[in-house]
Structure 1
């Protein structure tokens, strides 16, 4: 017989009562805790129990990494709470002042971490009266993610603190798990597995199978052509590295992308110390290697359509004026030219596409009301799968593509509103196959998914666990992993399985004994034995959990009530440095700045550029650095450029070009240039300028001025020059010859060829772009 949680704030029979969830909640109330629980077993219910117990002590903050997840949690609270008005949802669309008002009156705030971080940095809210912060998908609490900053602020500001992190997959290595728990301020880790006796009755069967396919010889020939080019570049890289005493692997097919990126970092460091032509060349060849490795992977694991789209983008990059030398050399190689030619004539599909359709048809034929998710690493592949399933599917298969928000050429992303709409239609059955990239892996509540298809294995235990967790939540489910024989698919599958086993083992070892607080964090209870077995409590007893403030680690020892020594207006795009300024005692207000990155007074505006950004702005098509500095010098009496990084001369740009740009900035624009080594030094410089300026009577930061918009002439030149293969010089010649953008685009190829610097290829490209049929 089903029993339900009883609590004055809960609706009757709103939440099923499960003892293992009560046990986890009771433990989490004794000390800040990271709870690891398999997907579909009610992490949100554990969070709800802890939230209800802590509400009498103060406000609760419920964080989730995406807006759809935030809306999901808000909807859950609305459904189960007797008084849903106590919970409010924060979004970026709500005006900041309105959020300030909502914060003051709310008892529960559900939000993405970015919105809360912005409000904390802008001092609109304080965490002083917050009794609980819940971090959903807590494995995100690494590096520079907003969770890390919010947890650190909570340790400084909170007077009665408790943290609850919830995740299905914190990571496979001891270092990663410790990083997550330390960043959150968690004193202990608690876990349950599907094999635990108190959990297994609630676990639905989830069948996992591997389907292996043989890659056709035509596709393998494409791979061979690309691997030959890759092998040559690997040999060249080995020789170039040897000339400077750097050991480089010959076999690039056996070198991981991670190793190559580390190699790239090492090369750039060597160039900064002792530049040489061979090192510059090695960096360029390494860029080729990375592009070729990606092409090889697409050929063998994704299919001809994905490979063709990628090579088409490389061709566009190679033919554009600002295109990389790596792309130009790759596309000029005879073997790549041959591969492109073969692709154009090829009439063969990757067998994975057929396998997807067969598995989907089989599932929907036997169970028409099924919901199916197909996961793939790449958007191009998601598009290919969508097209393939649509062909001849009739009413049986109703597929839709589900991707992230970012857009790129010929591939528009999905807004959060559109994502939510697609998920609703998928739940309602308007679509029955969701073809998703990584955006669909995390936290989406689709309880009725019957089949999850991996188009390829992923060498990440976190992503693999998240994908598998999309099925078997409300009823039995099936997971199928497609593997192309004789390809990196096989290695990736082995890596993922090994990492999952390591993760479970590491969590078990970390769960007991509690290494950071052997007795108890605050409540006086004993450490739990392996598996987190403890005394089972009712929700009423859970409410009596002890305060978790004692013994929490302090991240910073700056006094809580310290007044800001200066105030700086910071553009939100500089958020990471805003955090660092705030931690130094500098007041920060986040504000979208049309001119400058940092404003410290009415007369001082600061633009910050890393060395890479600076060089990119010199060789890029728009050269917008000078426009930014022109705006800065026009609007501020004391304009400053902070140039960050010691590798200014590490790129393949002549030093005289860089020196000339610096001279122009200082002399022609009147902008002071301050070099800094890294972010720490940059922050120290900005803080020093702000304190000096404001103590000298320069006033508080006052942002003013607007960007200078392009003139009509500049807009016309920009529009024509954006065509692949047409640069600024060619665009000006075309406009001078024809007199308007309209006449340039209407001109026949032979008239275009008559213009100086315009050859047959450029003319053909213009006509193809302007007159080609749109096939979207």
Structure 2
């Protein structure tokens, strides 16, 4: 017989009572904790129990990495809490001042971390009175992710702190798990596995199978052509490295992308110290290697359509003004040209597409109300799968594509609102096949998902576990992984399996008797008086370090390393002796400025990146950005600095990095640009070595200005808008495959944008640099029916 949790804050029969969830929650209330629980076993319920136990101490902040997850958690809380008005859901679409009001009124705030980070940096909110922060998908708390900053601020400001991290996949190594715990301020780990006797009754069977397919000879031939070019470039890279005494990878097929990116970073560092022609050339050849390696992977694991779209983008890059030399050399190679021709004539598809169709039809025929998720690594592949399923013409298949928000040429992203609409229609059955990229991997709660298809294995245990966790939640489910024989698919599957086993081993080790915290923590702000009782200790627990100040000053926080005492967030504290207005794009440096005692306000700036007084505006460029702004078609450093000089009495350019001359741009061109910036535009140039030095310089200028009477920071100035000619060129050049040079030719030939778009394919081909493919692409875009 089903029993339910009874609590004054909960509706009657709203939450099913499961002992293991109550045990985890009771333990988590005793100290800041990372809870590791398999997907579908109610991590959110554990969070709910902790949340309601802490509400009498102060506000609770519930963080989730995406807007669909935020809406899901907010909806869950509103459905189970007796008073739903205490829940506020934050999104970037709500005006900042309105969020400030909502923060003051709400008892529970559910939000993405980026919104909270912005409001903290803009000093609209304080974490002083927050009694608990819940980090959903806590494995994200690494590197520069917003979770890390929020936890650090909470450690400094919170007066009665408790942290709960929840995840199904913390990582495959103890070091990674400890990093996550350290970054959110968790001092222990609690874990349950599907094999635990108190958990197993709630586990639904999940069948996992691998379907292997053979790559057709036609696609193998295209792959061989690309591999020939790749190996040739690899040999060239080896020769270039040898001339400078560097060891280079000889077998490109056995070299990972990470190794190549590390090599790229090392080469640029060497160029900064001792530039030589061979090192410059090596960087350029390495760029070709990276592009070719990606093309080979697409050929063998994704399919004709995905590869064709990628090569089209490379061709567009090669033709555009400011396009990379690497793209130009690749597209000029006869073997690549031959591969492009073969793709255009090819009438076979990758067998994975047929396998997807067969598996989907099989599932929907056997169970008409099924929900199916198909995961792909690439958007192009998601589009290919969508088109293939639609073209099959089977009425029982109702597919939809689910991708992220960012857009690129010919591939528009999905707004957060549209993502939420698609998920809701998928739950309701309007769509029954969701074709998703990584955006669909985390936390989407669709209990009825019966089949999860991996279009390819992923070499990440976290992503693999997240994908598998989309099924087997409310009933038995099935996971199928597609593998192309003799390709990197097989290696990726092996890597993922090995990492998953390693993660399970780490979790098992947490149950060793000598690693349990057997001491009583009953007085540490835990379950007493909250209606939660842990009962006997069954869950696994690992103490991460010394338990620092936590709930009510008792154990539970991140320890001595974090200074206590909140700063004045709504004015300048004694330490925050200056205030800087920072554009949100510079968010990472805003955090660093704040840590130095400088007050920060985030605000979208039309001109510059930082404003430190009424008269000083600062533009920051890394060395790479600076060179890109000189040669890129759309990034004009002179226009930006002209606006800066017009808007501020004392304009400054901070040029960050020691590798200014590491690119294949003649040093004299860079020196000439610097001279023009200083002499013609009157902009002071300050070189810095790295972000730390940049932040120190900005802080020093701000303090000097504001103490010397330069006035409080005041943002002013607007961007200079493009001329009509520039807007016309930009409009035409935005067509995929049409670069700046082709756009100018088209406009000169036809005389207006209207006549360019009205021209037939035959008329378009008369223009210099416009071939049949480009002409067809223009006509398809202009004349194609809109299917939104």
The two structures have a TM-score, normalised by structure 1, of: 0.94
User: Structure 1 residues 35 and 239 mapped into 2: Cα distance closer, same or farther (>3 Å)?
Assistant: same
Aligned-pair CA distance for 1:489: 0.8
Give the structure 1 partner of residue 594 of structure 2.
582
Identify which range, 477-486 or 506-515, moves more after superposition.
Answer: 506-515
Q: Over aligned residues, Cα RMSD in angstroms?
A: 2.5
Q: Matches of 1:752 and 1:476 in 2, distance apart?
A: 56
Give how far 1:530 is off. Answer: 8.3
The question of 1:621 aligning with 2:629 is answered no
C-alpha distance after superposition, 1:697-745 (max 9, x if no partner)? 1121111111111122332343455567876677667656765444555
Query: Does structure 2 conserve the Cα–Cα contact (< 8 Å) formed by 1:212 and 1:485?
Result: yes
The 5 Å alignment of 1:611-760 reads 611-720=623-732, 739-743=751-755, 759=768
Distance across 1 between alignment mates of 2:506 and 2:55: 33
Matched, 1:565 2:573: no
Cross-structure match for 1:540: none
How far apart in 1 are the matches of 2:473 and 2:366? 20
> Deviations along 1:525-575, whole A, 9 cap, x unmatched?
9999885289xxxxxxxxx99865566324443753443211111111110
- In 2, the alpha carbon distance for the partners of 1:522 and 1:708 equals 64
Matches within 5 A, 1:89-238: 89-238=89-238
Instruction: Give the Cα separation in 1 of the matches to 2:101 and 2:512.
Output: 43
For residues 70-106 of structure 1, what are the alpha-carbon distances to aligned partners after superposition, in whole Å with 9 as ceiling and x for unaligned? 0000000000000011111111122212211111121
Over 3 Å counting, the alpha-carbon distance change for 1:646 and 1:512 in structure 2 is: farther
Alignment of 1:68-467 (within 5 A): 68-467=68-467
Are residues 476 and 740 of structure 1, via their aligned partners in 2, closer, same or farther at CA, if it must alter by over 3 Å?
A: closer
Partner of 2:570: none
Write the distance in 2 (CA, Å) between the matches of 1:663 and 1:344: 49
Q: What SS is found at the alignment partner of 1:190?
A: strand
The aligned residue for residue 12 of structure 1 is 12
CA–CA distance in structure 2, aligned partners of residues 34 and 487 of structure 1: 37
- Give the conservation status (yes or no) of the 8 Å contact 2:427–2:446: yes
Q: 1:532 aligns with which of 540, 550, 561?
A: 540
User: How far off is 1:389 after superposition?
Assistant: 1.2
Counterpart-to-counterpart distance in 1, 2:195 and 2:578: 56
Q: Distance in 2 between matches of 1:385 and 1:342?
A: 21
Shift in alpha-carbon separation, 1:750–1:556, aligned structure 2, 3 A:
same
Q: Distance in 2 between matches of 1:382 and 1:720?
A: 27
Aligned-residue offset at 1:509: 2.6
* Separation (CA, whole Å) in 1 of partners of 2:126 and 2:565: 15
User: 741-750 or 316-325: which moved more?
Assistant: 741-750
Question: In structure 2, the residue corresponding to 1:266 is in which secondary structure?
Answer: helix
Give the structure 1 partner of residue 529 of structure 2.
none
Which of 702-711 and 544-553 deviates more? 544-553
- Whole-Å separation in 1 of the counterparts to 2:200 and 2:606: 57
> Aligned in 2, Cα 1:723/1:43: closer, same or farther, shift over 3 Å?
closer
Q: 1:571-613: CA deviations, max 9, x gaps?
A: 1111001111111110011111111111111111111110100
Report deviation, 1:310: 1.1
Distance 1:163 1:600, change over 3 A: same
Alpha-carbon displacement from aligned partner over 1:604-643 (angstroms, at most 9, x marks no partner): 1111110100000001013421111111111111111111
Give a deviation string over 1:177-227, Cα, whole Å, max 9, x none: 111110001000111110111100000011111111111112111111111
Q: Find the counterpart in structure 1 of residue 545 from structure 2.
A: none
Distance 1:728 1:341 in 2: 25
Q: Which moved more, 1:617-626 or 1:386-395?
A: 386-395
* Aligned equivalents of 1:752, 1:14: Cα separation in 2: 65
Instruction: Measure the CA separation in 2 of the matches of 1:228 and 1:342.
Output: 16
Deviations 1:478-535 (A, max 9, x none): 111111111111111111011001112123334657979884678479999885289x
Match of 1:509 in 2: 509
Alignment partners' CA distance in 2, 1:735 and 1:285: 35
Question: Secondary structure of 1:674's match?
Answer: strand
**Aligned CA distance change for structure 1 residues 485 and 598 (closer, same or farther; 3 Å):** same
In structure 2, relative to structure 1, the CA distance for the partners of 1:726 and 1:492 (3 Å cut) is: closer
Contact 2:622 2:656 in 1 (8 A): yes
**Separation (CA, whole Å) in 2 of partners of 1:426 and 1:724:** 31
8 Å CA contact retained: 2:614, 2:713? yes
SS at the partner of 2:503? helix
1:29-78: CA deviation from partner (whole Å, max 9, x where unpaired): 11000000000000000000001111111110000011110000000000
What displacement does 1:162 show? 0.3
Secondary structure, aligned partner of 1:68: helix
Measured in 1, the distance between the counterparts of 2:516 and 2:714 equals: 47
Gaps of 5+ in 2: 527-533, 543-549, 568-572
Cα distance between partner residues in 2 of 1:648 and 1:510: 48
Q: For residue 770 of structure 2, give the secondary structure of its aligned residue in structure 1.
A: helix
Paired with 1:109 and 1:514, the residues of 2 have a C-alpha distance of: 39
Aligned-pair CA distance for 1:459:
0.5
Indicate how the Cα distance of structure 1 residues 103 and 320 shifts in structure 2: closer, same or farther if over 3 A, else same.
Answer: same
Alpha-carbon distance in structure 2 between the residues aligned to 1:256 and 1:730? 36
**Partners of 1:61 and 1:725 in 2: CA distance:** 47
Q: 1:425 to 1:632 in 2, by over 3 A?
A: same
Contact conserved, 2:320 with 2:740, CA < 8 A, in 1? no
SS of residue in 1 equivalent to 2:540:
coil
Question: d(CA) in 2 for partners of 1:749 and 1:360?
Answer: 39
Distance of aligned partners of 1:384 and 1:741 in 2 relative to their CA distance in 1, 3 Å threshold: closer
CA shift in 2, pair 1:640/1:3, >3 Å: same
Aligned partner of residue 313 in structure 1, secondary structure: helix
- 1:604 is matched with which residue? 616
1:762 to 747, 761, 770: 770
Q: TM-score, length-normalised on structure 2?
A: 0.92
Q: Is the 8 A contact 1:188 1:516 kept in 2?
A: no
Q: How many corresponding residue pairs?
A: 763
Question: After the TM superposition, which of the residue ranges 443-452 and 740-749 deviates more from structure 2?
Answer: 740-749
In structure 2, C-alpha distance between the alignment counterparts of 1:582 and 1:155, rounded to whole Å: 14
Q: Secondary structure at the match of 1:431?
A: coil
1:343 CA displacement: 1.1
Question: Contact between 1:33 and 1:189, CA under 8 Å: does it hold in 2?
Answer: yes
Distance 1:37 1:480 in 2: 23
Distance across 2 between alignment mates of 1:142 and 1:652: 34
| Matches of 1:339 and 1:616, distance apart in 2 | 30
SS class of match (2:581): strand
Relative to structure 1, is the Cα distance of residues 126 and 517 closer, same or farther in structure 2, using a 3 angstrom cutoff?
A: farther
